[in-house]
Amino acid sequence: MAWLILIISGAFEAVWAVALSKSEGFTRPVPIVVFVVAAVISMAGLGIALRDLPVGTGYAVWVGIGAALTVLYSLATGAETVSLIKVVLMLGIVGCVVGLQVSS
């Protein structure tokens, strides 16, 4: 159950990161609210997951999921250009996250 909570929390990390960029320096109310709600859910989930998982592994997986999903969103929306090196590096992040889960 801790892994599922951690994965969902990592997804909410991507949500708050995107909302933060959309807030335009905390000047747009709706993205600010989304940012705050997603950040609270993300941090709370991380805290709950860390009851059962080692902090190093849990944090690395949480950050990796959030980072990979944030980049994937940027690539899918055209905010960043797709390149072979970005795809390879993202696969590396995902592979490392899976490796940490398998080795725990």
Q: What is the rounded average pLDDT of the residues 83-87?
A: 93
Question: What whole-number distance in Å separates Cα of residue 57 and Cα of residue 87?
Answer: 23
Residue from 43, 71, 60, 49 nearest 100 by CA: 60
Question: Which structural domain, as residue segments, surrounds residue 18?
Answer: 2-103
Number of domains in the chain: 1
Rg of the chain over all Cα atoms, to the nearest angstrom: 14
Q: What is the pLDDT of residues 27-57, one digit of tens each?
A: 999 999 999 999 999 999 999 999 999 999 9
Predicted TM-score (pTM) of the model is 0.88
